[in-house]
């Protein structure tokens, strides 16, 4: 089986747990997810099977949309509700909808984030959560991310010294929504954390397209799981294409360098191009860095090999 399974990840499982479960159910080794969701987060988790594992990075790069809740009044070690309380400051004044919307506007566009200590980012060959579990806080590199849209979804609720409200955010790859919740609180003058989060879309994939692990198990038992897999061609439909004939296809399967078609003369060096023959994507190419009149393969899918 080659394709993309859209899983509605449940709370309480890591993305790796989900991959392990899917691998066991479909009896395949080549299974991979397309962007980590924290254990407390539910929602859209595209999982690639077979040859589709070669295109994980192109799905991961897509924008994501989340719906969640910010709680203002205390922060936690993990920046979400699973962590221990770190700092507390009772919210003893009214925070208006206009104040929240003003903060949302200031955080829309390109902003800087520092990955939380409880994250999978590697520093000096070690993941940050490994340092955090040892009680260490280390310097980590900040990154630029883009908040495309940030919306308020609910009224502002008061509860025993805290306030909370729901939001929807559409953001770029690499965004930590937990950290965004902390940044919202900082701008309002209080410690805060993300108290709930669900991913509602990943690129073109939406929550209503997803199936649960229980539904997957039922499909496996019935033997019709392939009907619920999205094709590699569908997943890469947003990329520019070259349609080739059978003769050129044989060269592509062997990793041949090809001339750059005139209609793609404006393509950037690192922009991926797919080569397609008879409706099947055979490989992903990009412009040759030293010979701009040529394109070179970066992934050959038909032979299940990856070229450096």
* C-alpha span between 101 and 144 (Å, rounded): 22
Is the per-residue pLDDT at 10 higher than 90?
Answer: yes
Is the per-residue pLDDT at 295 higher than 70?
Answer: yes
Can you give the residue range of the structural domain that contains 28?
3-61+204-233
Q: Which long-range contacts (CB under 8 A, 24 or more apart) does 105-109 make?
A: 105/150, 106/187, 107/147, 107/150, 107/180, 107/183, 107/184, 107/187, 108/147, 108/148, 108/149, 108/150, 109/146, 109/147
The answer on 255 and 216 residing in a single domain is no
Catalytic site residue from 2, 38, 80, 196: 38
Is the per-residue pLDDT at 307 higher than 70?
Answer: no
In percent, the amount of the chain with pLDDT more than 70 equals 96
Q: Is 38 a catalytic residue?
A: yes
Distances in Å between the Cα of 142 and the Cα atoms of 41, 115, 152 are 23, 7, 26
The answer on 76 and 19 residing in a single domain is no
Choose one of 186, 202, 218: the last residue of a domain: 202
pLDDT band of residue 223 (cuts 50, 70, 90) is confident
The answer on 84 and 166 residing in a single domain is yes
The answer on 279 and 225 residing in a single domain is no
* C-alpha span between 292 and 260 (Å, rounded): 8
Choose one of 154, 187, 202: the last residue of a domain: 202
State the chain's maximal CA–CA distance in angstroms.
73
The answer on 127 and 171 residing in a single domain is yes
The answer on 276 and 149 residing in a single domain is no
Is the per-residue pLDDT at 308 higher than 50?
Answer: no
Q: Which of 148, 159, 135, 144 is nearest to 77 (CA)?
A: 135
The answer on 297 and 261 residing in a single domain is yes
The answer on 278 and 195 residing in a single domain is no
The answer on 69 and 197 residing in a single domain is yes
The answer on 120 and 166 residing in a single domain is yes
Q: ∠ at Cα 299 (297, 301), nearest 5°? A: 120
CATH number at residue 108: 3.30.2350.10
The answer on 190 and 71 residing in a single domain is yes
Choose one of 202, 218, 247: the last residue of a domain: 202
Task: Tell me the average pLDDT across 278-288.
Answer: 91
pTM: 0.87
pLDDT band of residue 147 (cuts 50, 70, 90) is very high
CATH number at residue 289: 2.30.130.10
Quote the pLDDT of residue 234: 86
The answer on 68 and 49 residing in a single domain is no
Structurally, how many domains does the chain consist of?
A: 3
Q: ∠ at Cα 219 (213, 225), nearest 5°? A: 100
């Amino acid at each position: 089986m080659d394709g993309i399974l859209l899983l509605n990840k449940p709370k309480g499982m890591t993305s790796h747990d989900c991959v392990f479960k899917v691998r066991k159910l479909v009896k395949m080794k080549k299974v991979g997810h397309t962007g980590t969701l924290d254990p407390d987060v539910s929602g859209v988790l595209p999982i690639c099977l077979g040859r589709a594992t070669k295109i994980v990075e192109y799905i991961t790069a897509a924008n994501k949309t989340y719906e969640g809740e910010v709680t203002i009044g205390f922060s936690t070690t993990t920046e979400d509700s699973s962590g221990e309380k770190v700092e507390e400051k009772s919210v003893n004044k009214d925070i208006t909808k206009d104040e929240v919307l003003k903060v949302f506007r200031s955080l829309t566009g390109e902003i800087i984030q520092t990955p939380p200590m409880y994250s999978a980012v590697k520093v000096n060959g070690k993941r940050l959560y490994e340092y955090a579990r040892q009680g260490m806080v280390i310097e980590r590199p900040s990154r630029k991310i883009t908040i495309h849209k940030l919306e308020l979804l609910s009224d502002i609720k008061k509860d025993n010294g805290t306030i909370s409200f729901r939001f929807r955010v559409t953001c770029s790859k690499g965004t930590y929504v937990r950290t965004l919740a902390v940044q919202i609180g900082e701008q309002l003058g209080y410690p805060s954390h993300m108290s709930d989060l669900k991913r509602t879309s990943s690129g073109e994939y939406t929550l209503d397209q997803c199936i649960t692990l229980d539904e997957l198990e039922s499909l496996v038992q019935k033997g019709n799981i392939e009907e619920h897999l999205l094709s590699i061609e569908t997943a890469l439909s947003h990329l520019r294409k070259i349609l080739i004939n059978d003769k050129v296809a044989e060269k592509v399967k062997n990793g041949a360098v090809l001339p750059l078609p005139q209609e793609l003369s404006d393509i950037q060096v690192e922009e991926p191009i797919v080569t397609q023959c008879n409706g099947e994507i055979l490989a992903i190419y990009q412009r040759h860095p030293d010979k701009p009149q040529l394109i070179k393969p970066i992934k050959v899918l038909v032979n299940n090999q990856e070229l450096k």
